[in-house]
Amino acid sequence: MKAAIIGGTGYGSIELVRLLNKHPYMEVGSVVSNSQAGISFSDVYPHLSNIIVQPLETFNADRLSEENDIVFFATPSGVSSKLVPKMIEKGKKCIDLSGDFRLRNAEEYESWYKHSPADGKYLKQAIYGLSEIYSEEIKTASLLANPGCYPTATTLGLIPIVKKGFVDEKSIIIDAKSGVTGAGRGLTLTSHYAEINDNVRAYKLGAHQHIPEIEQVLQDETGKEIAITFSTHLVPMSRGIMCSMYMNLKDYISTEDVIEIYNQFYEKHPFVRVRPVGNVPTTKEVLGSNYCDIGLHVDPRTNRLTVISVIDNLVKGAAGQAIQNANIMNGWDERTGLTDIPLYP
């Protein structure tokens, strides 16, 4: 099966290339970059010189649909909302790694993203691809909205306990720490090495566009309106997200019991690994892999639960979950091509 990648030479694209290269049933067909069409992919990334030989193409729905079976969009927000419909019309399955089809509410999209939203017809059709939670819906999806990196780490860490109704929903606070690739390869002062190195930076306090996405998932899972506090921090690393999440328990539950709840919830989900008592994951322990590792701690002094959830933002937070979703959509084992051990250290 041939896969087209729309989105040129960003980090999302090369991560898709890296993962498709080891997938037994899919391979890279076309790579589209309107701004760099004609030049070779390996001119931009010399480390791919012997691997990706085809040149970058412009977006051409006819040619793309002839030469490919599935289409991954790794485009900036506001792009795939325009391009996805053209491929859907050609009958191609589309997996969108951007935020364009994640929010069902078009107005909310516009207010957080400051772009025009996608056409409501496609918004309705889009399936939100949090693989562990919506696998049934994903099986038949033709347009898949791949979750954001922060929402993936956050919701996988919250759902098991929040869904049980054990948590005061108003008390949820998420302190997220991300590596720099989360912001892509674009050049800004906040990606300049000397500004990031040996530094920690809080940004977009209460204003991150992933907030409505997280709240939509929590609302879907609980049936309640939930407003979270969500703070993002840039830390000096290339990849990785850690979400440290704090919430009040309605009644006291021990750490052991909380772990048991999570273990049961994720029993059949190999990519979510729950740590035993006293053990919390570091971001590097999932580097390059599709795992989401979760550590849990209840503080009896305050009856507050702390959840530590980590992912590689480019894998489980982007390209890896996209492949996982493609596996589910095609009826393959969801682990296909994704069983690599994290690169440690």
Binders of its own copies among residues 21 to 40 (CB under 8 A) are 21-22
Backbone dihedral region of 240: left (phi > 0), alpha (psi from -120 to 50 degrees) or beta? Answer: left
- Write the interaction track for its own copies spanning residues 104-123; mark x where CB under 8 A is met and - where it is not: --------------------
Order of strands, sheet of 70-73, starting from the edge strand that comes earlier in the sequence: 27-32, 2-6, 70-73, 93-96, 143-145, 127-128
Rule CB under 8 A: choose which of 17, 141, 144, 338 binds its own copies.
17
Q: Tokens at residue 315, please?
A: 């894998």
Please report, as residue ranges, which positions from 320 to 339 form the binding site for its own copies (by CB under 8 A): 339
Instruction: Give me the least distance between CB of 31 and its own copies, in Å please.
Output: 14
Separation of alpha carbons 218 and 230, rounded Å: 14
Phi-psi bin for 198: left (phi > 0), alpha (psi -120 to 50), beta? left
Q: Tell me which residue has tokens 């898949």.
A: 144
Omega within 30 of 0 (cis) for the link into 345: yes
Cβ-based nearer residue to its own copies, 61 or 235: 235
Q: Is 277 in the site for its own copies (CB under 8 A)?
A: no
Q: How many Å apart are CA 6 and CA 25, to the nearest integer?
A: 19
* 1: contact with its own copies by CB under 8 A: no
269 binds its own copies (CB under 8 A): no
Shortest CB 177 distance to its own copies, Å: 5
Find out whether 9 and 35 touch, Cβ atoms under 8 Å.
no
Supply the residues annotated as catalytic: 149
Roughly what angle, to the nearest 10 degrees, separates helices 320-329 and 11-21?
A: 50
Q: How far apart are CB 303 and its own copies at their closest, in Å?
A: 10
| Closer residue to its own copies (CB): 14 or 326 | 14
Which of 1, 235, 253, 261 touches its own copies (CB under 8 A)?
235
CA 91 to chain centre: 25
**Which among 68-76, 96-104, 277-285, 322-330 is the span making contact with its own copies, rule CB under 8 A?**
277-285
Q: How far is the CB of 47 from its own copies (least distance, A)?
A: 4
Q: Rg of the chain over CA atoms, in angstroms?
A: 20
The piece of 46-54, 58-66, 156-164, 325-333 that touches its own copies (CB under 8 A) is 46-54
| Listed residue (264, 252, 244, 257) closest to 306, CA to CA | 244
Q: How far is the CB of 216 from its own copies (least distance, A)?
A: 15
Q: Residues 168 to 197: which contact its own copies by CB under 8 A?
A: 170-171, 173, 175, 177, 179-181, 185, 187-189, 191-197
53 is an interface residue for its own copies by CB under 8 A: no
Question: Which of residues 94 and 308 has its CB atom nearest to its own copies in the complex?
Answer: 308
